[in-house]
Structure 1
Amino acid sequence: METMSLLRKLFGSLGFFFVKLILVGGGRDLKSFPLMKFVTISTFLRNPSL
């Protein structure tokens, strides 16, 4: 139980890091970053059980 909440916090901070990285990187990095990969990561962050 505690491990799951810990993983959730970890993935949450990782997701925040990715978003921050993309926002700081700007448009040129966003173009080189595949949209499907971003969607997959976002979905995984919302459902860690997958």
Structure 2
Amino acid sequence: MTSRPKGPKQNKNPDLPQSPVQPYGEPLSGSKKTKKANHSRQNYNPHHGL
């Protein structure tokens, strides 16, 4: 048996779409965390997060 790698060949520099450049520490505007926080039940309780 020959030991040949299976699957497609791997490129050194694949032609992938680049993500938008953003400053470090600033989350994307539409991140899941933001959306989850906006729609959480905690926002409806005025005594939460004092």
> Which TM-score tier does this pair reach, normalised by the shorter chain?
under 0.3
Q: If the length of structure 2 is used for normalisation, what is the TM-score? A: 0.23
Q: If the length of structure 1 is used for normalisation, what is the TM-score? A: 0.23
Flag the structure with higher helix content.
1
Q: Which has the larger radius of gyration?
A: 2
